[in-house]
Amino acid sequence: MTNLPAELKYAKTHEWVRVHGENATVGITDHAQHELTDVVFVELPAVGRQVKSGEACAVVESVKTASDVYAPVSGQIVEVNRAVADNPALVNSEPYGGGWFYKIKLSNPAELNDLLSPESYQAQIGQ
């Protein structure tokens, strides 16, 4: 069983959210990166873009497949992780650290209540 960071919230589509004030950092879970295998490319959203919860806003490509990354919450993209664009392997090596994708200014913080707890996410992925 993987120990998921307790301070994070999780989307059913395998994104994680770390809230800090009115902003949140978003990445993909360790489970997702493991399923993808070696990540070779990350396409990040444009800073300033408005996204709605559930909207595809980034792409991650591995040697196996390409997958959309969905916005787990609605808001405006305020920062992207250029380091992960330059070194996509960070998604594999540091999914909850240096491998984050973007930061979003929350437009509807109540949407956080729709996300999963670590325990619920672990149950979803069968661990």
Q: What's the topology of domain 9-125?
A: OB fold (Dihydrolipoamide Acetyltransferase, E2P) (2.40.50)
Alpha carbon distance 25, 44 (integer Å): 13
SS3 state at 40: strand
**pTM attached to this predicted model:** 0.95
Helix extents (H) in the chain: 30-36, 82-86, 90-93, 118-125
Q: Where are the domains of the chain?
A: 9-125
Q: What is the pLDDT along the chain (127 residues), one digit of tens a residue?
A: 457 899 999 999 999 999 999 999 999 999 999 999 999 999 999 999 999 999 999 999 999 899 999 999 999 999 999 999 999 999 999 999 999 999 999 999 999 999 999 999 999 998 7
Q: Is the dihedral angle over the CA atoms 107, 86, 39, 127 positive or is it negative?
A: negative
